[in-house]
Structure formats: structure tokens, C-alpha cells
Amino acid sequence: MDNFVREDIRNIAIIAHVDHGKTTLVDGLLKQSGTFRSNENVAERVMDSNELERERGITILAKNTAISYKGIKINIVDTPGHADFGGEVERVLKMVDSVLLVVDAAEGPMPQTRFVLKKALGLKLKPIVVINKIDRLDSRIEEVIDEVIDLFIDLGADDEQLEFPILYASAKAGYALHNLNDEAKDLTPLFETIIYKVTPPSGSLEAPLQFQITTIEYDDYIGRIAIGKIFRGKIKYGQNAVLCKNDGTLQNVKVGRFYGFSGLKRVEVQEAYLGDIIAISGIEDVNIGETLCDVQNPEPLPRIEVEEPTLSMTFMVNNSPFAGREGEYVTSRHLRARLMKELETNVALKVLETDSPDAFEVYGRGELHLSILIETMRREGYEFQVSKPTVVLKEIDGKICEPIENLFVEIPQDYLGVVMEKLGSRRAEMLNMNTTSDGYLKVEFKIPTRGLIGYRSQFLTDTKGNGIMHHVFMGFEPLKGDIPERNRGSLVAFEAGETTTYGLYNVQERGDLFIGPGVEVYEGMIVGVNSKSDDLDVNVCKKKHVSNMRASGADEALKLSPIIELSLEQCLEFIASDELVEVTPKSIHLRKKILDGNLRAKMRKG
């Protein structure tokens, strides 16, 4: 039984750029395979279960689902499209035998598809290409196929990988075609391609067990759930096994309940075999990358290597005058416990304790990776402060190196000058430039990660919202020299109180405001951005002196300019190194690290 083939299983991962219809396609496969009952009410984009994923329309966590078609079980793993969640991608691809690459028929392959595809081709996985949204009016199917082939060649695909099957689909309308002139019915051509083109899992069924954990989920009732694939042998409920830990130690465990996947549900099973993707509960201290082995023959599989973090931030206990008003969890004990819990499932994250018990250094794969964590925590009731993101430097061959990103921008031609100028000062080098069929410019750059911090909002302003930008981590290179910080100072409230129309009216000629009237502020809180490069202490709570000659009602006649509302990401991009973002479940404030204005003035002089 040394080469047992599981004809009844196919394991695939789906790769697509944000918004190319991956999740909608999975919805269609689930519905048409009869996995849902006809009367079952199914949410749209059913795979994006996390609230943040649904809001932003992106997939953050890799997820598992399974459909059965003509007696064959197809395990589908959804992968994140964002390079910031690369830690998720690498593990997931270890579980599958093929990838389904979904490409938009109008947009063509995008930078973030490139990142995941490169990983898949490197692992020798054979792809199936689905050109989606073929019913778009602006679709350009032939050109997109050429672009996909170019991309494969560019990423070093071998001859076998270049012989990929192509399907044409509209996930929204629920059909796929082998050829463009076929009649559009349903997704049968896609089901059949998966069954005939994806290699079924094979290996030794009688050999000792090897089950590698690639994802950890947490359930409030069951505790930790380890998800992975059986690479060898079989597993039974209640059997004794050995967990080969990442640090080389062995731990004896008893296999408790375990589950297979059916649709989006976990279904309890009594035994599972080589090639099955299952979820095991009841193993306490289990981590990603560890192998569950046979007691007599503990042979671990190679560890799963995850790319290193590129950015770090300090998370600290909120100590502003508003501390503890809105948050449920506010102490350093709460903050530490929550960050440690995050480490269990978020592999690309690293947390280090600092000299202060109230501050933790958190390392991640990019601004998005860290801001998603911050947003998740505030929604759970946490209140804390974070510092400006800084890049992680490392020494290679005696030289200090910094992370470098591949930046892709798509802009109308009129904005090329201003974009090139801004990126030039941020140490970007242009790699190439093409014109798209609709007259836009596609420009590719190489830029230090720190040059990208704070650039997105600048880019949107410079291109008046008409530009698109994406970036992908490339690697580490020697330090590129100075990059200027933001060129405008902050407007800082110099006393605590409530803002007045009169006070704000007098301040607005000095810059742009972040807050309106009737808002409570404290000394040292940032209320706007100065037109000049230095910080300015301002009185936004100033009241007009009322005498019998001047009525206080005249305030209503003062016209305030519209305020700038910053999102969490924009706040992180905006702050300077002596500033913090105060995050609570209900609000986000910007503040100076040192609140006392006199003390700040002394520090500047000193």
C-alpha cells in the first residue's frame, strides 16, 4: 500500500487578487454542488465570515470549505490576496495539490496575485486558470490570457505548469465555459476540470501517521482547534499520538474529537486517512507547523517557514486624560494577554516585552497587517495607544539592510510628474512603465518600505483619487538614505475643555482641522494639521467675551471649513515619531507623546 491513491478527494486552493470574484465563485460552487439544502438561507460572500473582511471586501484569514461532486470530495482552501497576509498563504499551499487562479477579465493579473502565485509555482503546484467576469462590458479576454502566460514565464513556471487549463466564467451569474462559444449553463465545466486535472493525494496508508498543523482556530466552547492535512497513514478517535513540537521536544497526546469539512460546517468523524484535511480539538498547547505522529515512529515533517516581519509598532496602555472611559479592557495585563492570544493563530506576528510593563513591541508584515489587528482589538473592547510604525532593519554580510517593496501604480498620464517627484524623494527607483489600452500609465517601482509609510493618502490626494497602488514585499537591501518625514506640523490643543466655534474659527486659518465644535479635548491632543512645518499650540476652546454690546449669539454666523476625518490607517500614516494614536472602542484620537506644552518646549530647546 505504499502508493495508495485517494481517488475520492481533491485538495485545491483558490488564489485571486482582492475583488476578482474568488469568494463569489466559492459561493457558486457551494450552491451548485448541492452542499446547501434548497431552502437554506445562505449569506452572500459566505467565506468572508470575519466582520472586518465583509466590510473591507478582503480575505484576511485562510479558510476551509468542502463540496462533494459525484461522490468526490473537493476540499477548497481560500487564501488571502494581500501580501501583508503572506504568512497565511505559505502554510495553506502545503495542504493542496493544485491552485485555482481567478483573474478578472478586464483587469488582468494584478500584483497581489503575483505574490501568492509565485509561492504556488515554487511548490510545484499545477494551476487551473479561471478568467472571471467575462460578461463585463470592458472585458479583454485574449489580452488577459497573454498577460497570464507572461506572468507565469516571469515567475519561472516550468513547461508542465505552463500547460494550464483555462476556463471562462461569470461567478456572479453562476456559469463556466471550456470555450467562449459554448452555451452558458452552470459551473459543471469547472467541477469537471477540478476532478480530471487535479492530482488526487497519494502516499502510504499503512505507514505511521503524519499530520501537519497549518492553521489554528479558537472556539469558546471547544478551545484550540488544529487544522491540517494527513500526509501519511490514518488517524482514529481516542488513539495515542506524539506531538513533535517546533522546539524539537515531543509531547504525548490523546486524539480527541476531530472533524471533516462539509460546506462551511465541521462534521465530526471517527477516522480519517491520508489526504484528508481535518480539524482536531482537545490538544492544548498545539502550534502551527507542528506534526502529530505515531507513538512508535515520531517523524516530524519539515517546519513551515514564514517570512519575517517588516514593520514594528509599540502597543501601550492608554495613559491620556480620557483613559478608561470607553474601553472594557484597559490594563497592561489585558493588553498582554490579548497580544499573546493573537500569537497563537497569527503566525506572521511577533510580540516582544519591553523595559516597561505597560508597553509591547509588536512586529508585523505591513501596515495593513497591524492595522487589522488594532481594529479587531478595539472592536473587542480594548483601549490602548500605538506609536508610529517603524521598519525592521537587519544586518546581512556586515551591512545594515531594510525591507524593500515592489510598488505598482496605475495613474492617468497627467499625474505622472507629481507621482514621480513624490516617490523620488522617498527613494523609489522606477523599474518599468507601460500604457494600458484605456490610456492609463502602469508604472513599477522599487521602494524602501519606510518610503511607503504615509504615502497612500498623499498618493490619493496627488492623483485626485484617480490612481491605484499596490505593493508587494521584495526582500532586504542595504539602507537607502534619508527619507523626509511629513512636511507639515500638528495643531495641538494647549488646554483641556470643549471646542467652540469661535475658537476653531480663529484656528482654521492656520491649517486644516480634524475636529468640529462641541468636542471634548485635552492638553497635548492633536486637533489638526498646520500649514507650516512646525507644531503650533492653539486654543480651540476659546470663548468670545460677551459684553452688553456683543451678544454671544453672533457665534452662529461664523463659518467653519469642513473637517478632515482620518481613518485608522490614515492616523497611523499621519503621526510623527513624537506622537501616538489613542484607540478606544468608540473613538480614535491623535496626541503628542508628551502632553505638557511647557515640557515639550523645553525638550525642543534641550
CA atoms within 13 A on the CB side of 585: 11
Identity of the amino acid at 559: K
Grid cell at residue 159: 513547461
Cα gap 490→512, rounded to integer Å = 10
CA angle 148, 152, 155 (to 5 degrees): 135
Annotated binding-site ranges for GTP: 19-24, 132-135
Per DSSP, the chain holds a count of helices (H) and strands (E) of 15, 37
Identity of the amino acid at 394: K
How is 333-344 classified by DSSP, letter by letter? HHHHHHHHHHHH
Residue 121, classed as helix, strand or coil, is helix
Residue 78, classed as helix, strand or coil, is strand
What is the crossing angle of helices 416-425 and 455-462, to 10°?
160
Grid cell at residue 11: 485538495
CA atoms within 13 A on the CB side of 4: 16
**Are the CB atoms for 449 and 476 separated by under 8 Å?**
no
Annotated binding-site ranges: 19-24, 132-135
Render the burial of 281-296: b for 16+ CB within 10 Å, e for the rest: bbbeebbbbbbbbbee
Cα gap 459→37, rounded to integer Å = 47
Which of 77, 74, 2 has its CA nearest to residue 233? 2
Cα gap 117→433, rounded to integer Å = 22
Tell me the C-alpha to C-alpha distance, in Å, between residue 294 and each of 66, 220, 524, 604. Answer: 27, 29, 61, 64
Pairing of strands 399-412, 536-538: unpaired
CA angle 258, 97, 13 (to 5 degrees): 75
H or E element: which one contains 96?
A: none
Tell me the C-alpha to C-alpha distance, in Å, between residue 168 and each of 17, 79, 140, 554. Answer: 17, 21, 12, 66
End-to-end Cα distance, the chain: 77
**Are the CB atoms for 411 and 437 separated by under 8 Å?**
no
Which of 419, 418, 449, 458 has its CA nearest to residue 574? 458
CA angle 490, 494, 495 (to 5 degrees): 140
Grid cell at residue 139: 472585458
Cα gap 519→151, rounded to integer Å = 52
Identity of the amino acid at 55: E
